[in-house]
Amino acid sequence: DVQSLLLFTVLFLLIADYLKTRRPSSFPPGPWALPFVGNIFTHITHNPSVYQRQTYGDVYSLRMGQTWMVVLNGFQMLKEALVTQGDSLADRPVLPLQMDMFHNLGLISSNGHLWKQQRRFALSTLKYFGVGRKSLEHAILDEFTYSGKPFNPHVIINNAVSNIICSLVFGHRFEYEDERFIKLIKRFDSALQIAASLWARLYNAFPLLMRCLPGPHQTVQQFWSEVKDMIRSEIEEHKKDWNPAEPRDYIDCYLTEIQMKKGDAESTFSEENLVMCTLDLFVAGSETTSTTLRWAFLYMAKYPEIQEKVQAEIDRVIGHSRQPSMMDRANLPYTDAVIHEIQRMGNIVPLSLHHSTNRDIQLGDYTIPKGVVIIPNLTSVLFDKREWETPYTFNPEHFLNEEGKFVKRAAFIPFSAGKRVCLGENLARMEIFLFFTSFMQRFTFSMPAGTKPVLDYCFGVTLAPAPYEICATLRQE
């Protein structure tokens, strides 16, 4: 009868699922996985104080649908995996969502020869155009604006930071009122919010099913194609007055590279890849820096005594009349330590980006086969009790020695480490330093009357502070 048939089918599916998704032998342990969906509803928690490491140790596994993932924890384990065995972990996994959104082109989700060629080119071009150059410093400082009243810094800072990427890639900035700019930022925001949701996990676990269903993925594809069209029109504009002898920006350099490598079978330079690399620079370079700055303002409002010390140091070293420059960093050890501590506590990319094994590897007591997704848990390093004196306290002293000099800490890895370490690290550090010191030089941050700073996390594309309003009061000259 129908009932027995149904029972038989369910039993059959359960047994088939069990056999297919059994934990491989000598694989790291992990929490019990539900049939079919596995640990899809388990939050690999981004709350720094609780991670499954306490139960399973430095290496544990999770199953997302049919895909096995291994979470790595603690400074020593991440160093061993990402640096010592870095070559074996340099790949990104080919997951359905990434495949559909980025086609495994560009910088973030590409692999092998294509990734190496594009990464090398992007690094050298970013260096050429600015990281460390006065012109980029001016571009960053020009974005420095202020609204006067209590304000939500999200939009202002997002605009400013996105405009830096625009300057580097497109060769120009946008006015904040420009409809095209507003649309660009809105589209990015929405697409990335969706890509970071539970829906994305379901999509990766059940791609065939999800592709047929209506849902946010249709919207993402729509937004993405609109953004790509905007980038394509920038490329067309560039072609009109492109002069290889005088490159103005990333697009100009890229067009020259396409031209020079024509006929080279090894070349991965194409207009389609240019569009994808540009997308990646926006994806990776806007929200990250902007979130860090939002944490910065909140921490300053929360710890006024630390804010005062930063301001006193800036007053002493830079004064009021000139703008900060990167040259000042070496003379501002306390400010530098505060920025590092903001990044450590802010922990904005808590699980880094997924890596994948490109051969069988041995980690601790476990063998991890080729093709397994690896999640480097940066939270577990930035809050590692074995590395930090007071891991859960905002304490700039983590980065200062007894004489008050700045000290580097190996476990400071908000940009991750190894072959895939953040490509924009230098740019991000420069933006954060210049914005932060400029704000501290001119304003004091405090919460609007009657409110207290709340250091709540809000998880989206990055681990961001919950939306807040803040007051920036002009300091006495």
SS3 of 249-265: the string is CHHHHHHHHHHHCCCCC
Should residue 348 be labelled a site residue for ligand HEM when binding is judged by CB under 6 A?
yes
Window contacting ligand HEM (CB under 6 A); options: 193-201, 329-337, 417-425, 442-450: 417-425
Contact range with ligand HEM by CB under 6 A, out of 59-67, 169-177, 283-291, 445-453: 283-291
Between 33 and 78, CB nearer to ligand HEM:
78
- Residue in the shown chain whose Cβ atom is closest to ligand HEM: 424
Q: What is the CA radius of gyration of the chain?
A: 24
Taking each helix axis as running N to C, give the angle between helix 304-317 and helix 287-302, from 0 to 180 degrees, rounded to the nearest 10. Answer: 110
Rounded to a whole number of angstroms, the minimum distance from the CB of residue 184 to ligand HEM is: 16
Q: Is 422 annotated as a binding residue?
A: yes
For the purposes of burial, counting CB atoms within 10 Å of the CB of 148, is it exposed (0-12), middle (13-18) or buried (19 or more)?
A: exposed
* Smallest separation (angstroms) from ligand HEM to the CB of 21: 26
Closest distance to ligand HEM from the beta carbon of 224 (Å): 17
Segment contacting ligand HEM by CB under 6 A, of 70-78, 172-180, 213-221, 287-295: 287-295
Q: Exactly one of 192, 318, 427, 461 binds ligand HEM (CB under 6 A); which one?
A: 427
DSSP track, 275-320 = HHHHHHHHHHHSHHHHHHHHHHHHHHHH-HHHHHHHHHHHHHHTTT
In angstroms, rounded to a whole number, what is the distance separating the alpha carbons of residues 17 and 449?
A: 57
Q: What residues from 78 to 107 belong to the interface with ligand HEM (CB under 6 A)?
A: 107
DSSP states along 136-203: HHHHHHHT----SSSB-HHHHHHHHHHHHHHHHHHSS---TT-HHHHHHHHHHHHHHHHHTSHHHHHH
Q: Which of residues 289-308 bind ligand HEM (CB under 6 A)?
A: 289, 292
- Whichever of 416 and 446 has its CB closer to ligand HEM, that residue is 416
Piece in contact with ligand HEM (CB under 6 A), picked from 15-23, 137-145, 228-236, 410-418 = 410-418
Residue 270's Cβ-count burial label (10 Å; 0-12, 13-18, 19+) is: middle
Closer CB to ligand HEM, residue 67 or residue 352? 352
Give the separation between CA 156 and CA 145, rounded to whole angstroms: 8
Which residues are near ligand HEM by CB under 6 A?
Answer: 107-108, 119, 280-281, 284-285, 288-289, 292, 348-349, 352-353, 376, 414-416, 420-424, 427-428
Annotated binding site for heme: 422
